[in-house]
Amino acid sequence: MSIRVLIADDAAYMREMLRDILTSGGYEIVAEASDGEEAVAAYAEHTPDLVTLDIVMPRKSGLEALREILAADPGACVVMCSALGQDALVRDMLKAGARGYVVKPFKPDQVLEAIGKARDKSEPE
């Protein structure tokens, strides 16, 4: 079974890029969301194995979406996507329960590595 992923980013460009990178890494993209609210709804609908969540999104921010997803499913494996320089914010996200983060601009091997690590953390010991 391939790992099922939900991609949430308000930029279609970034979604496409993540889709390409993750597909090349053998992941299956089950849904895409273009804002935080859609992300929460899509998570409930598809219960993916992994979520990539952009931080700056309209309607509901990445942090709000993260909290709602984790409230509904404490085992959710969420990886944050941040821009360079959002370090403090990323620390907040990790504190709030994100499993990892990737930094834009995306480099395929870095993305796959970060997501692989996040998955390892979430596997039962």
Partner 1 sequence: VDLAKYRILFVDEATDHLVEMSRALADLESGEPGSSSDEAVDTLFRMTHSIKGMAASLEYLSVSTLAHKLEDWLEPLRRAGARPGDLELIHEAVRALEGMVVQVSETGEAPPADESMLARLGAQRGAHEPAPSVPAAPRDEVRAVAEAQAAADALDLQPPPQRSVRVRAESVDRFLASVGDLMQRQARIEVLHRGMRHWELPREFTEELAAMERVVRELRRRALDIRTTPVRRVLERLPGIAGKLARALGKSVRVELAGEEVEVDRAVLDHLDEPLLHLVRNAIDHGIEPPDERRERGKPPTGLLRVSASRAAGRLELCIEDDGRGIDVERVRRLAVERGMFPEAVAEDLSTERVCELLFEPGMSTKKQVSEVSGRGVGLDAVKRTVEGLGGSILAEAVPGSGMRFELDLPSMVALQRVLILWVHGHRVALPVNRVDRVIDVKQGELERVGNEIFFMFEEEPIPLLDLGEHLGLGPLQPDSGGNIVLLEMREFRLGLLIDRAAADQEVFVREVPPVLGGRKELGGVAVLPDGTPVFLLEIGVLVERFN
Chain positions contacting partner 1, by CB under 8 A: 10-14, 16-17, 20, 55-56, 58-64, 83-90, 92, 104-106, 108
Q: How far is the CB of 123 from partner 1 (least distance, A)?
A: 29
Q: 8 vs 55, which CB is nearer to partner 1?
A: 55
Q: Give the torsion sign (CA, 109, 1, 69, 96).
A: negative
CB of 121 to partner 1, least distance (A): 23
Q: Which is nearer to partner 1, 92 or 122 (CB)?
A: 92
For partner 1, give the closer residue by CB, 74 or 105: 105
Q: Which residue, 45 or 120, is less far from partner 1 as judged by CB?
A: 45
Phi, psi at 49, each rounded to 5°:
-80, -20
CB of 102 to partner 1, least distance (A): 12
